[in-house]
Amino acid sequence: MILPINAERPMRVLQITDCHLGAESSETLLGLNVETSFVDVLEHALVREETPDLILVTGDIAGDPSAQAYQRFVYHLDKAFPEVPFVCIPGNHDVPATMASVFPESSLPKMVELGDWLILLLDSTIPNKEHGDLSAQELDFVQKTLMHNPDKRAIICMHHQPVAVGCEWIDQYKVASAAQFKALLSEFDNVELVLWGHVHQAFETEVEGVRYMASPSTCIQFKPNSVDFALDRLMPGYRWFELDNSGQLSTRIERINQKDYPIDYSSNGY
Ligand SMILES: [Fe+2]
Protein backbone atom coordinates (compact mmCIF):
# COMPACT_ATOMS: atom_id res chain seq x y z
CA MET A 1 0.00 0.00 0.00
CA ILE A 2 1.28 3.45 -0.91
CA LEU A 3 -0.39 6.37 0.84
CA PRO A 4 -0.41 9.89 -0.60
CA ILE A 5 1.67 12.24 1.53
CA ASN A 6 1.10 15.84 2.48
CA ALA A 7 4.39 17.72 2.23
CA GLU A 8 3.02 20.52 4.44
CA ARG A 9 2.69 18.47 7.62
CA PRO A 10 3.79 15.19 9.29
CA MET A 11 1.92 11.99 8.47
CA ARG A 12 -0.49 10.97 11.25
CA VAL A 13 -0.94 7.36 12.33
CA LEU A 14 -3.42 6.12 14.92
CA GLN A 15 -2.49 2.77 16.48
CA ILE A 16 -5.25 0.77 18.10
CA THR A 17 -4.74 -2.69 19.49
CA ASP A 18 -6.21 -5.64 21.38
CA CYS A 19 -9.90 -4.86 21.06
CA HIS A 20 -10.91 -8.48 21.86
CA LEU A 21 -14.36 -8.07 20.30
CA GLY A 22 -16.75 -11.01 20.60
CA ALA A 23 -19.48 -12.59 18.49
CA GLU A 24 -22.13 -10.51 20.28
CA SER A 25 -22.02 -6.80 21.06
CA SER A 26 -22.86 -7.71 24.66
CA GLU A 27 -19.51 -9.55 24.98
CA THR A 28 -17.56 -8.73 28.14
CA LEU A 29 -14.01 -9.38 29.28
CA LEU A 30 -13.62 -9.46 33.08
CA GLY A 31 -16.79 -7.39 33.36
CA LEU A 32 -15.88 -4.81 30.71
CA ASN A 33 -18.07 -4.57 27.61
CA VAL A 34 -15.29 -4.67 25.02
CA GLU A 35 -17.35 -3.07 22.26
CA THR A 36 -18.29 -0.14 24.51
CA SER A 37 -14.67 0.57 25.41
CA PHE A 38 -13.59 0.17 21.76
CA VAL A 39 -16.17 2.75 20.66
CA ASP A 40 -15.17 5.02 23.58
CA VAL A 41 -11.54 4.91 22.40
CA LEU A 42 -12.49 5.70 18.79
CA GLU A 43 -14.69 8.59 19.92
CA HIS A 44 -11.90 9.97 22.09
CA ALA A 45 -9.50 9.93 19.12
CA LEU A 46 -12.16 11.45 16.88
CA VAL A 47 -12.72 14.38 19.21
CA ARG A 48 -9.13 14.93 20.26
CA GLU A 49 -7.05 14.35 17.12
CA GLU A 50 -6.77 15.63 13.58
CA THR A 51 -7.93 13.05 11.02
CA PRO A 52 -5.24 10.35 10.77
CA ASP A 53 -3.73 9.29 7.45
CA LEU A 54 -3.68 5.67 8.55
CA ILE A 55 -5.13 3.47 11.29
CA LEU A 56 -2.73 0.72 12.31
CA VAL A 57 -4.20 -2.26 14.15
CA THR A 58 -1.75 -4.58 15.90
CA GLY A 59 -3.81 -7.69 16.55
CA ASP A 60 -6.28 -9.35 18.90
CA ILE A 61 -9.05 -7.52 17.08
CA ALA A 62 -11.32 -10.36 18.16
CA GLY A 63 -11.28 -12.25 21.44
CA ASP A 64 -13.67 -14.79 20.00
CA PRO A 65 -12.68 -14.77 16.32
CA SER A 66 -16.05 -14.96 14.63
CA ALA A 67 -16.86 -13.17 11.38
CA GLN A 68 -19.37 -11.06 13.34
CA ALA A 69 -16.62 -9.69 15.60
CA TYR A 70 -14.59 -8.56 12.57
CA GLN A 71 -17.71 -7.15 10.89
CA ARG A 72 -18.49 -5.00 13.92
CA PHE A 73 -14.87 -3.87 14.11
CA VAL A 74 -15.09 -2.60 10.51
CA TYR A 75 -18.51 -1.07 11.16
CA HIS A 76 -17.31 1.02 14.11
CA LEU A 77 -14.02 1.99 12.47
CA ASP A 78 -15.82 3.09 9.32
CA LYS A 79 -18.41 5.01 11.31
CA ALA A 80 -15.75 6.96 13.23
CA PHE A 81 -13.18 7.36 10.43
CA PRO A 82 -14.97 6.74 7.11
CA GLU A 83 -12.22 8.15 4.87
CA VAL A 84 -9.23 6.66 6.65
CA PRO A 85 -7.54 3.46 5.44
CA PHE A 86 -6.77 0.84 8.06
CA VAL A 87 -4.24 -1.99 8.07
CA CYS A 88 -4.18 -5.01 10.38
CA ILE A 89 -1.99 -7.81 11.59
CA PRO A 90 -3.36 -10.82 13.48
CA GLY A 91 -2.90 -11.49 17.18
CA ASN A 92 -2.94 -14.82 19.00
CA HIS A 93 -6.70 -14.50 19.53
CA ASP A 94 -7.40 -13.85 15.83
CA VAL A 95 -7.97 -16.28 12.99
CA PRO A 96 -6.29 -14.83 9.88
CA ALA A 97 -8.58 -16.70 7.46
CA THR A 98 -11.69 -15.24 9.14
CA MET A 99 -10.11 -11.77 9.17
CA ALA A 100 -9.36 -12.11 5.46
CA SER A 101 -12.94 -13.20 4.73
CA VAL A 102 -14.31 -9.98 6.26
CA PHE A 103 -11.68 -7.27 5.76
CA PRO A 104 -10.92 -5.66 2.40
CA GLU A 105 -7.72 -7.02 0.91
CA SER A 106 -6.24 -3.52 1.10
CA SER A 107 -6.31 -3.74 4.91
CA LEU A 108 -3.96 -6.75 5.01
CA PRO A 109 -0.78 -5.60 3.23
CA LYS A 110 2.76 -6.59 4.20
CA MET A 111 3.96 -3.03 3.88
CA VAL A 112 2.70 0.56 3.87
CA GLU A 113 4.70 3.37 2.28
CA LEU A 114 4.12 6.91 3.58
CA GLY A 115 6.62 9.17 1.87
CA ASP A 116 9.99 8.54 3.47
CA TRP A 117 8.51 6.03 5.89
CA LEU A 118 7.88 2.31 5.52
CA ILE A 119 5.66 0.34 7.88
CA LEU A 120 6.33 -3.41 7.80
CA LEU A 121 3.49 -5.62 9.02
CA LEU A 122 4.68 -8.97 10.35
CA ASP A 123 2.67 -11.98 11.44
CA SER A 124 4.09 -13.19 14.77
CA THR A 125 1.27 -15.64 15.47
CA ILE A 126 1.44 -19.43 15.55
CA PRO A 127 -1.94 -21.20 15.10
CA ASN A 128 -3.45 -22.25 18.45
CA LYS A 129 -0.47 -20.95 20.45
CA GLU A 130 -0.34 -17.99 22.78
CA HIS A 131 3.34 -17.16 22.30
CA GLY A 132 4.81 -15.45 19.26
CA ASP A 133 7.44 -16.29 16.70
CA LEU A 134 8.75 -14.83 13.45
CA SER A 135 9.12 -17.47 10.77
CA ALA A 136 12.17 -17.66 8.49
CA GLN A 137 9.90 -16.22 5.81
CA GLU A 138 9.01 -13.17 7.92
CA LEU A 139 12.66 -12.58 8.86
CA ASP A 140 13.61 -12.88 5.20
CA PHE A 141 10.93 -10.32 4.30
CA VAL A 142 12.37 -7.88 6.86
CA GLN A 143 15.91 -8.43 5.60
CA LYS A 144 15.04 -7.95 1.91
CA THR A 145 12.75 -4.96 2.50
CA LEU A 146 15.33 -3.11 4.60
CA MET A 147 18.09 -3.94 2.14
CA HIS A 148 16.10 -2.65 -0.84
CA ASN A 149 14.94 0.53 0.89
CA PRO A 150 18.04 2.04 2.52
CA ASP A 151 16.67 5.58 2.13
CA LYS A 152 13.42 4.90 4.01
CA ARG A 153 12.87 5.01 7.77
CA ALA A 154 11.28 1.74 8.87
CA ILE A 155 8.66 0.94 11.49
CA ILE A 156 8.29 -2.79 12.09
CA CYS A 157 5.01 -4.01 13.59
CA MET A 158 4.01 -7.36 15.03
CA HIS A 159 1.52 -8.54 17.63
CA HIS A 160 3.82 -10.12 20.24
CA GLN A 161 6.58 -8.39 22.17
CA PRO A 162 10.10 -9.01 20.81
CA VAL A 163 11.59 -7.81 24.13
CA ALA A 164 10.51 -8.54 27.69
CA VAL A 165 8.25 -5.80 29.04
CA GLY A 166 8.73 -6.76 32.69
CA CYS A 167 5.55 -8.80 33.31
CA GLU A 168 6.74 -12.36 33.91
CA TRP A 169 3.38 -13.98 33.20
CA ILE A 170 3.07 -12.46 29.71
CA ASP A 171 6.77 -12.29 28.84
CA GLN A 172 6.73 -16.09 28.57
CA TYR A 173 4.71 -15.51 25.37
CA LYS A 174 7.14 -13.14 23.70
CA VAL A 175 8.55 -13.73 20.21
CA ALA A 176 10.61 -16.93 20.34
CA SER A 177 12.97 -15.81 17.56
CA ALA A 178 13.59 -12.39 19.17
CA ALA A 179 17.37 -12.91 19.21
CA GLN A 180 17.51 -13.57 15.46
CA PHE A 181 15.22 -10.60 14.84
CA LYS A 182 17.45 -8.24 16.83
CA ALA A 183 20.59 -9.62 15.18
CA LEU A 184 19.00 -8.92 11.82
CA LEU A 185 18.12 -5.33 12.75
CA SER A 186 21.71 -4.71 13.84
CA GLU A 187 22.74 -5.06 10.16
CA PHE A 188 20.72 -1.95 9.25
CA ASP A 189 20.67 1.65 10.37
CA ASN A 190 17.30 2.66 8.95
CA VAL A 191 14.99 1.02 11.52
CA GLU A 192 13.41 3.67 13.71
CA LEU A 193 10.83 1.70 15.67
CA VAL A 194 9.56 -1.77 16.55
CA LEU A 195 5.91 -1.67 17.66
CA TRP A 196 3.48 -4.25 19.05
CA GLY A 197 0.29 -4.90 21.01
CA HIS A 198 -0.41 -8.03 23.11
CA VAL A 199 0.78 -6.69 26.48
CA HIS A 200 -2.15 -4.28 27.05
CA GLN A 201 0.08 -1.56 28.49
CA ALA A 202 2.28 1.33 27.44
CA PHE A 203 5.95 0.43 27.26
CA GLU A 204 9.02 2.01 25.70
CA THR A 205 12.69 1.14 25.59
CA GLU A 206 15.64 1.50 23.24
CA VAL A 207 17.90 -1.30 22.04
CA GLU A 208 20.98 -0.51 19.94
CA GLY A 209 19.52 2.74 18.64
CA VAL A 210 16.08 1.29 17.81
CA ARG A 211 13.00 2.36 19.75
CA TYR A 212 10.74 -0.47 20.98
CA MET A 213 7.16 0.31 22.04
CA ALA A 214 3.95 -1.31 23.21
CA SER A 215 0.57 0.38 23.52
CA PRO A 216 -2.59 0.24 25.62
CA SER A 217 -5.44 -2.04 24.66
CA THR A 218 -8.84 -0.62 23.77
CA CYS A 219 -10.22 -2.85 26.56
CA ILE A 220 -8.62 -4.13 29.79
CA GLN A 221 -5.15 -2.94 30.88
CA PHE A 222 -2.49 -5.24 32.33
CA LYS A 223 -0.50 -3.97 35.30
CA PRO A 224 3.15 -3.25 34.44
CA ASN A 225 5.90 -5.18 36.27
CA SER A 226 3.57 -7.93 37.53
CA VAL A 227 4.91 -11.42 38.19
CA ASP A 228 1.40 -12.90 37.93
CA PHE A 229 -1.64 -11.72 35.99
CA ALA A 230 -2.90 -8.39 37.36
CA LEU A 231 -5.13 -5.66 35.98
CA ASP A 232 -4.28 -1.99 35.97
CA ARG A 233 -6.83 0.74 36.67
CA LEU A 234 -5.64 2.90 33.78
CA MET A 235 -8.28 3.59 31.16
CA PRO A 236 -8.34 2.08 27.64
CA GLY A 237 -6.46 4.06 25.01
CA TYR A 238 -4.45 4.31 21.82
CA ARG A 239 -1.08 5.50 20.55
CA TRP A 240 -0.69 8.46 18.22
CA PHE A 241 2.23 8.99 15.84
CA GLU A 242 3.42 11.88 13.75
CA LEU A 243 6.06 11.05 11.13
CA ASP A 244 7.77 13.93 9.41
CA ASN A 245 9.70 14.12 6.17
CA SER A 246 13.05 14.60 7.91
CA GLY A 247 12.77 11.16 9.54
CA GLN A 248 11.57 12.43 12.94
CA LEU A 249 8.97 10.37 14.76
CA SER A 250 6.94 11.69 17.66
CA THR A 251 4.48 9.60 19.62
CA ARG A 252 2.22 9.75 22.65
CA ILE A 253 -0.27 7.59 24.46
CA GLU A 254 -3.82 8.84 24.93
CA ARG A 255 -6.45 7.29 27.17
CA ILE A 256 -10.14 7.97 27.47
CA ASN A 257 -11.36 10.10 30.35
CA GLN A 258 -11.99 8.32 33.63
CA LYS A 259 -15.10 6.16 33.33
CA ASP A 260 -16.66 3.75 35.78
CA TYR A 261 -16.50 0.46 33.85
CA PRO A 262 -17.65 -2.58 35.87
CA ILE A 263 -14.26 -4.34 35.60
CA ASP A 264 -13.40 -7.23 37.94
CA TYR A 265 -10.03 -5.89 39.08
CA SER A 266 -9.51 -8.81 41.48
CA SER A 267 -9.45 -11.37 38.67
CA ASN A 268 -6.32 -13.51 38.40
CA GLY A 269 -6.64 -14.41 34.73
CA TYR A 270 -8.67 -14.13 31.55
FE1 LIG B 1 -4.73 -9.07 23.68
Residue 45 near residue 233, CB atoms below 8 Å: no
| Closest listed residue to residue 166, CA positions, set 140, 202, 142, 137 | 202
| Residue 265 alpha carbon to ligand 1 centre in Å | 17
Q: Tell me what pLDDT residue 243 has.
A: 97
Dihedral of alpha carbons 134, 131, 73, 156, sign: negative
Band of residue 21 on the pLDDT scale cut at 50, 70, 90: very high
| Closest listed residue to residue 45, CA positions, set 70, 77, 69 | 77
List, in order, residues 6 or more apart from 207 with CB less than 8 Å away: 163, 182
* Position 6 pLDDT exceeds 90: no
| Residue 199 alpha carbon to ligand 1 centre in Å | 7
| Residue 125 alpha carbon to ligand 1 centre in Å | 12
Q: What's the gap between Cα 55 and its chain centre?
A: 10
Q: How far is CA 95 from CA 63, 68, 174, 177, 270, in A?
A: 10, 13, 19, 21, 19
Over the stretch 51-81, which tens digit does the pLDDT of each residue have? 999 999 999 999 988 999 999 999 999 999 9
Domain boundaries along the sequence of the chain: 11-255
| Residue 59 alpha carbon to ligand 1 centre in Å | 7
Query: Cα(52)–Cα(125) distance, rounded to whole angstroms?
Result: 27
| Residue 18 alpha carbon to ligand 1 centre in Å | 4
| Residue 224 alpha carbon to ligand 1 centre in Å | 15
Question: Mean pLDDT over residues 18-33, rounded?
Answer: 94
Q: Are strands 11-16 and 54-57 parallel, antiparallel or unpaired?
A: parallel
Q: Tell me what pLDDT residue 5 has.
A: 86
Over the stretch 100-150, which tens digit does the pLDDT of each residue have? 999 999 999 999 999 999 999 999 999 989 999 999 999 999 999 999 999
Percent of the chain with pLDDT over 90: 93
Residues, the chain: 270
Q: Tell me what pLDDT residue 64 has.
A: 86
| Residue 115 alpha carbon to ligand 1 centre in Å | 31
| Residue 203 alpha carbon to ligand 1 centre in Å | 15
Question: Mean pLDDT over residues 238-247, rounded?
Answer: 93
250 sits in the region (left: phi over 0; alpha: psi -120 to 50; else beta) called: beta
| Closest listed residue to residue 31, CA positions, set 226, 225, 223, 231 | 231
| Closest listed residue to residue 133, CA positions, set 182, 94, 195, 175 | 175
Residue 130 near residue 168, CB atoms below 8 Å: no
| Residue 86 alpha carbon to ligand 1 centre in Å | 19
CATH no., domain 11-255: 3.60.21.10
| Closest listed residue to residue 236, CA positions, set 215, 209, 212, 256 | 256
Q: Tell me what pLDDT residue 255 has.
A: 98
